[in-house]
Amino acid sequence: MHARELIAEVLRSKTPVPSGDVPLAQIDGWDSLKGVRLVLRLEEIVGRELSESDIEKLQSVDDIDRLLKAA
Protein backbone atom coordinates (compact mmCIF):
# COMPACT_ATOMS: atom_id res chain seq x y z
CA MET A 1 0.00 0.00 0.00
CA HIS A 2 1.17 3.52 -0.79
CA ALA A 3 0.74 6.56 1.43
CA ARG A 4 -1.74 8.23 -0.90
CA GLU A 5 -3.99 5.16 -0.88
CA LEU A 6 -3.78 4.89 2.89
CA ILE A 7 -4.58 8.58 3.43
CA ALA A 8 -7.59 8.33 1.10
CA GLU A 9 -8.75 5.29 3.10
CA VAL A 10 -8.35 7.17 6.41
CA LEU A 11 -10.19 10.19 4.99
CA ARG A 12 -12.86 7.91 3.52
CA SER A 13 -12.59 9.95 0.35
CA LYS A 14 -12.18 9.29 -3.34
CA THR A 15 -10.64 12.74 -3.82
CA PRO A 16 -7.04 12.41 -5.05
CA VAL A 17 -4.44 12.90 -2.33
CA PRO A 18 -1.42 14.98 -3.36
CA SER A 19 1.93 13.25 -3.42
CA GLY A 20 5.32 14.41 -2.23
CA ASP A 21 6.30 16.46 0.76
CA VAL A 22 2.78 17.79 1.30
CA PRO A 23 2.02 18.34 5.01
CA LEU A 24 -0.88 16.22 6.22
CA ALA A 25 -2.44 19.32 7.81
CA GLN A 26 -2.84 20.86 4.33
CA ILE A 27 -4.88 17.96 2.96
CA ASP A 28 -8.60 18.74 2.68
CA GLY A 29 -10.55 17.02 5.44
CA TRP A 30 -7.51 16.31 7.64
CA ASP A 31 -7.92 16.71 11.41
CA SER A 32 -6.57 15.19 14.61
CA LEU A 33 -9.04 12.31 14.52
CA LYS A 34 -7.77 11.35 11.07
CA GLY A 35 -4.25 11.41 12.55
CA VAL A 36 -5.27 8.88 15.20
CA ARG A 37 -6.96 6.68 12.57
CA LEU A 38 -3.81 6.89 10.43
CA VAL A 39 -1.58 5.74 13.29
CA LEU A 40 -3.89 2.83 14.14
CA ARG A 41 -4.05 1.74 10.50
CA LEU A 42 -0.27 2.03 10.10
CA GLU A 43 0.21 -0.15 13.17
CA GLU A 44 -2.01 -2.80 11.59
CA ILE A 45 -0.05 -2.66 8.34
CA VAL A 46 3.45 -2.75 9.83
CA GLY A 47 2.47 -5.27 12.51
CA ARG A 48 3.82 -3.37 15.50
CA GLU A 49 3.03 -0.47 17.77
CA LEU A 50 4.57 2.77 16.54
CA SER A 51 6.86 4.58 18.94
CA GLU A 52 6.30 8.21 19.88
CA SER A 53 9.29 9.05 17.70
CA ASP A 54 7.73 7.24 14.72
CA ILE A 55 4.46 9.09 15.21
CA GLU A 56 6.13 12.50 15.57
CA LYS A 57 7.86 11.95 12.21
CA LEU A 58 4.54 11.49 10.38
CA GLN A 59 4.12 15.02 9.11
CA SER A 60 3.78 14.57 5.34
CA VAL A 61 2.75 12.16 2.61
CA ASP A 62 6.44 11.34 2.01
CA ASP A 63 6.93 10.54 5.71
CA ILE A 64 4.18 7.93 5.53
CA ASP A 65 5.67 6.45 2.36
CA ARG A 66 9.06 6.14 4.09
CA LEU A 67 7.51 4.32 7.04
CA LEU A 68 5.59 1.95 4.77
CA LYS A 69 8.69 1.16 2.72
CA ALA A 70 10.73 0.47 5.85
CA ALA A 71 8.17 -2.04 7.12
Reference 33, options 21, 45, 41; nearest CA is 41
Q: What DSSP element (H or E) covers 54?
A: helix 52-56
Q: For residue 25, which of 58, 47, 67 has the smallest C-alpha distance? A: 58
Whole-angstrom distance, CA of residue 5 vs CA of residue 21: 15
What per-residue confidence (pLDDT) applies to 15? 87
Write out residues in the chain with pLDDT < 70, as ranges: none
Instruction: Give the per-residue pLDDT at 29.
Output: 94
Length of the chain in residues, anyone?
Answer: 71
- pTM of the predicted model as reported, rounded to 2 decimal places: 0.92
Q: What is the pLDDT of residue 47?
A: 96
Average pLDDT of the chain?
Answer: 95
Distances (CA, A) of 31 to 17, 23, 49, 69: 15, 12, 21, 24
